[in-house]
Chain A
């Protein structure tokens, strides 16, 4: 089966987001950017499926600024076959992203699209579900494992309270959660090879998608800070404070 993996370039996982002083957003100038961690898991899953013979072709897509090409190259270095880069400097909302991805799915006809369950910048967690709706495909969210049997997929999902198993007819959408796999590091030879893999250059207008934002960001502020409290000497004092000062036990 052909597998499509959309990936997003985001503020690196280990970098603390700083709010801009004019409250217009988060400062992304001169900070480390990386592939969204859940998308790395999606790429790893697609590459694994290629290695096992379950996937015939694995295509990585990114919708974002010129530098999103680096994120696509990372995916190619991990083992994806080719890339599609839809260039835009706008910070697109999940609905617009899902509409562009629908147009790409109509063209590419993948049997499976694997997306991260959320991007760690805007934390919407919406793109996968929206794409499933627009395609009329079933979805398995927050996958812990994916097994293929004929034209069906058995997906074990992370749910509140444990795990849930669903069976999906393909074509289908799966979103990934942390325990699905451990993404590989690209080896130097593979990074070199990735430079030669093709990346199609596109724009949102190539797909005729109206990307006008539906939400107006009025302001972005720092969260209310918690004040650091006190250090206690030992367990006895901790119990005393929790019981007699805070009154929570």
Chain B
């Protein structure tokens, strides 16, 4: 069996999500190749070649792939799939955008956001915001899969695969990239951070997230939010943790002023340790929290920051 894994990268750096998808692919058994599609991806391809267990890296370097839009990715991937039995990609927004397109072109039902590999055709995936886990067996000849990367360990480095370049997509395409506005932050990425601190509706305003910011700075943590806080306009959507946002599984997740709605828990309950600060003793977040502090967050957060300072942060 031959499996293609699509790399997650920003044209300059290969992301850890790729290594995790490689682990999921390896669990299916067979040969694993990595596709690096983008613009100016020589370094990314070289990095992918170092992932342990990778047979070869296929690079496609073209301006139409700068942001890996759906139409150009389809043109690159669909012909490649003649030589593969399965394709896996991390379930980030980039890959969620084109993987269903690839699946439909191959006449295959996509298996989205898998958290477990039972065999080459059987997978576990969360449904209903993670309130149920479905074990599904694919009857399709080829498998098209997105991977919930928080559920897999990263494949190690130490490989030395060859890099092969394939023909550019030619188009024409009916969609074009215009621009982007990325949040500028020196903090770690939400999905890769070891510590995440998130605020919910209880924060009361976007301004009040400053109370969390000081703590995040001290701990080197990423900042997140519940859907309620995003809906209320406190913080940008890309901070959202939950069913309709990002899934995170850091070593420590600190939930502040978050009640713990089903859809939020879906995105963070795989965290190793969960701490929660909420003034409502009955808040569902306490049912999943390892450490719960029932307190007014406006009092508790400055105290927490001061206590951190006392132990050297």
Spell out A's residues near B (CB within 8 Å): 11, 13, 16-17, 19, 25-26, 38, 93-95, 98, 117-118, 120-134, 137-142, 144, 154, 157-169, 172, 177-179, 213-223, 226, 228-236, 238-239, 241-243, 246, 248-249
Contact of B291 among A25, A168, A238 (CB under 8 A): A238
- The residues of B that contact A218 with a CB separation of less than 8 Å are 122, 135-137
**Is B110's CB within 8 Å of the partner chain A?**
yes
The prevalent SS among residues of B at the interface is mixed
Residues of B in contact, count (CB < 8 Å): 96
Query: When the two chains form their complex, are residues B97 and A141 in contact, meaning their CB atoms are under 8 A apart?
Result: yes
| Distance between Cα atoms of A126 and B112 in the complex (Å) | 8
Most B CB contacts (10 A, CB to CB) among A98, A162, A213 go to: A162
Q: Which positions 78-108 of chain B face chain A at CB distance < 8 Å?
A: 92-94, 96-105, 107-108
| Closest A residue to B191 using CB positions | A160
Query: When the two chains form their complex, are residues A19 and B291 in contact, meaning their CB atoms are under 8 A apart?
Result: no
- CB-defined A-B contacts under 8 Å, sample of 20: A95-B108, A120-B129, A122-B127, A125-B100, A128-B100, A129-B101, A133-B105, A138-B174, A141-B70, A141-B96, A160-B191, A160-B238, A162-B180, A216-B139, A223-B133, A229-B289, A235-B307, A238-B275, A239-B311, A242-B252
Nearest 6 pairs between A and B by C-beta? A129-B100, A138-B175, A229-B290, A17-B128, A235-B303, A214-B109
| Distance between Cα atoms of A136 and B312 in the complex (Å) | 58
**Chain A nearest CB: distance from B282 CB in Å?**
12
| Distance between Cα atoms of A233 and B306 in the complex (Å) | 16
Query: When the two chains form their complex, are residues B288 and A166 in contact, meaning their CB atoms are under 8 A apart?
Result: no
Contact of B101 among A122, A130, A167, A179 (CB under 8 A): A130
**Chain A nearest CB: distance from B15 CB in Å?**
10
| Distance between Cα atoms of A144 and B295 in the complex (Å) | 35
The 8 A CB mask of B240-272 against A (1 = contact, 0 = none) is 100110100001100000000011000001001
**Is B293's CB within 8 Å of the partner chain A?**
yes
Query: When the two chains form their complex, are residues A238 and B307 in contact, meaning their CB atoms are under 8 A apart?
Result: yes
Query: When the two chains form their complex, are residues B304 and A239 in contact, meaning their CB atoms are under 8 A apart?
Result: yes
**Chain B nearest CB: distance from A76 CB in Å?**
26
Q: Known contacts A129-B104, A133-B105, A218-B135; is A123 also within 8 Å of B177 by CB?
A: no
- The residues of B that contact A217 with a CB separation of less than 8 Å are 134-136
Q: Known contacts A160-B191, A217-B134, A246-B290; is A168 also within 8 Å of B175 by CB?
A: yes
| Distance between Cα atoms of A248 and B87 in the complex (Å) | 35
| Distance between Cα atoms of A228 and B282 in the complex (Å) | 12
Most B CB contacts (10 A, CB to CB) among A11, A120, A144, A214 go to: A214
| Closest B residue to A159 using CB positions | B93
**Is B170's CB within 8 Å of the partner chain A?**
no
Query: When the two chains form their complex, are residues B180 and A134 in contact, meaning their CB atoms are under 8 A apart?
Result: no
| Closest B residue to A13 using CB positions | B263
| Closest A residue to B175 using CB positions | A138
Query: When the two chains form their complex, are residues B236 and A162 in contact, meaning their CB atoms are under 8 A apart?
Result: yes
Q: A17-B129, A166-B178, A238-B291 are in contact. List 15 more A-B contacts (CB 8 A).
A: A17-B132, A120-B128, A122-B127, A123-B129, A129-B100, A133-B103, A133-B104, A138-B174, A139-B70, A166-B176, A169-B174, A216-B137, A216-B138, A219-B134, A235-B306
**Is B33's CB within 8 Å of the partner chain A?**
no
Query: When the two chains form their complex, are residues B178 and A167 in contact, meaning their CB atoms are under 8 A apart?
Result: yes
Contact of B93 among A19, A93, A158 (CB under 8 A): A158
- The residues of A that contact B20 with a CB separation of less than 8 Å are none
Q: Which positions 211-235 of chain B face chain A at CB distance < 8 Å?
A: 219, 227, 230-231
- The residues of A that contact B277 with a CB separation of less than 8 Å are 238
**Chain A nearest CB: distance from B194 CB in Å?**
8
| Distance between Cα atoms of A229 and B275 in the complex (Å) | 9
Query: When the two chains form their complex, are residues A138 and B177 in contact, meaning their CB atoms are under 8 A apart?
Result: no
Q: Known contacts A120-B243, A217-B135; is A166 also within 8 Å of B69 by CB?
A: yes
- The residues of B that contact A94 with a CB separation of less than 8 Å are 100, 109-110
**Is B298's CB within 8 Å of the partner chain A?**
no
Contact of B128 among A121, A140, A238, A241 (CB under 8 A): A121
| Distance between Cα atoms of A221 and B135 in the complex (Å) | 8
Contact of A178 among B102, B230, B246, B288 (CB under 8 A): B230
